[in-house]
Amino acid sequence: MERYFDRLEKEPLIAERWKKIEELESYGIKPFGRKYDKQNMIGDVLKHNPDENLKFKTAGRIMSLRGKGKAYFAHIEDQSGKIQIYMKKDELGEEQFDHIVKMLNVGDIIGVEGELFITHTEELTLRVKSISLLAKNVRSLPEKYHGLTDVEIRYRKRYVDLIMNPEVRETFIKRTEIIKEIRKYLDDRGFLEVETPMMHQILGGAAARPFMTHHNALDLDLYLRIAVELYLKRLIVGGFDKVYEIGKDFRNEGISVRHNPEFTMIELYQAHADFNDMMDIAEGMISTICEKINGTTDIVYDGVQLSLKNFKRVHMVDMIKDVTGVDFWKQMTFEEAREIAKEHHVEIAPHMNSVGHIINEFFEQKCEEKVIQPTFVYGHPVEISPLAKRNEENPNFTDRFELFINKREYANAFTELNDPADQRGRFEAQVEEALRGNEEATPVIDEDYVEALEYGMPPTGGMGIGIDRLVMLLTGSPSIRDVILFPQMKPRD
């Protein structure tokens, strides 16, 4: 405690608040109260009118305060809404008025009991008959009319952001509603929600750089998971027909408006299905949730009008041909494809050694930014899809899709590879790619997963959807930091 108060010499405004706290204590008032029997949310109080002659008991934070002499007005706010209150000495009594009301500041949390009336300005107001101080504000809130506008401070001090900006609270309430609707959509269709490990001995399920940790008792290095795919498919082997998991994944990548190293994904798997079924589920889920959250499937995001229904479906090679004129349906050598890439200024990394790699780079560098309306881009090359089943008509490609909306990827899915020999060969190719310098390739073969496939996995469709990006889309949020309560930030000096 002494160290805490030592620093107040540098913060005179806080020191002044502490003097007021000491004065409150001298009156026998606890500045940081105990449990309060809050019987009504403010939003519920606002639904009533004075004619009902009802008494209410609620609590909230003081967001504005004005008055002098024997009467004060204030606005208090909780998660559900904000209401004006009226505190008068004749009704509260001298002790409560002088020892509590006159000592109040904006930011204090109070409990109040009273009845509704309408002021001469026609504002619904709670006439306070009893008041309790629940928590004294020590650090002043940002100035009312400017609020908390510094974006970096908003993210670093989310608690203040939530106090000052009701629209931010609304975004996170919508996030919870979106996740609830995702669960409902899948539960209603017979899917089972499960939980799998967050610490893995072997990387797998996605191409990404990992975070590492160490288990002291076992003297074992572990990875924070980059995906849950391989564990969920083990459950399909084990006899579950439909499973999903909503949880955190961790990827050691850059931070941007679309990327946070810790993010939320949903992955789902359905036995006896394929990637076409996953398209149907993705389109149905997103359009249904958008309708429930926004009342329509027509939205505007980042200034662009989008229709979240009747998603397009187009093969990757066909899109490349439409955009660039290059026809990768034609047979060609790697050297020929590399020359075409050079002519079209498509950069190729040193570890890329196949036509399939070049096809994917053509799409990412030339086509992604042109996909605006919801589009399933399918038919990814085998080389970049180590867990997807080959297409029967053209084994150079896989039955895989990515969902793009307004230039961004929202889902990744495929008909799962269930041939253990083919799967092991794909893993081996990933190891070789890692040795050639691809930091996102999986450097170790997951022998246990191959063994699981040897017991037999039925034909399966699987899909992953980024929850954070979906919430951004459905709430009109420009940055992933706007939909993650506590995003990762660079430490200050």
Pairing of strands 212-215, 375-378: unpaired
Residue recorded with tokens 């967001």: 63
Rounded distance between C-alpha atoms, residue 246 and residue 463, angstroms: 12
CA distances, 210 to each of 157, 200, 225, 227, 249 (Å): 28, 10, 7, 10, 10
Is 303:395 a contact under the CB 8 Å cutoff? Answer: no
Average pLDDT over residues 344-367: 96
C-beta neighbour count of 214 within 10 angstroms: 9
338 closest CA partner among 322, 320, 357, 325: 357
Residue type, 113: E
Tell me the per-residue pLDDT of 229-284, one tens digit each, with 9 for 90 and over.
999 999 999 999 999 999 999 999 888 888 999 999 999 999 999 999 999 999 99
Is 431:212 a contact under the CB 8 Å cutoff? Answer: no
Rounded distance between C-alpha atoms, residue 364 and residue 1, angstroms: 57
Which residues define the annotated binding site for Mg(2+)? 402, 409
C-beta neighbour count of 167 within 10 angstroms: 7
Across the strands, what pairs with 464?
267, 412
Residue 146 has pLDDT above 80, yes or no: no
Is 369:456 a contact under the CB 8 Å cutoff? Answer: no
Tell me the per-residue pLDDT of 450-492, one tens digit each, with 9 for 90 and over.
999 999 999 999 999 999 999 999 999 999 999 999 999 988 7
Residue recorded with tokens 């990933």: 430
First to last CA, the chain: 25
Tell me the two tokens of residue 366. 């030339």
Query: Does residue 207 or residue 377 have the better pLDDT?
Result: 377
243 closest CA partner among 252, 230, 255: 230
Q: Where are the alpha helices (DSSP H) in 27-75?
A: 42-45
Tell me the per-residue pLDDT of 150-162, one tens digit each, with 9 for 90 and over.
788 889 999 999 9
What local confidence, expressed as pLDDT, does residue 145 receive? 46
Which residues define the annotated binding site? 402, 409
User: What are residue 52's phi and psi, to 5 degrees?
Assistant: -75, -15
Contacts of residue 95, defined as CB under 8 A and 6 or more positions apart, other chains included, come to: none
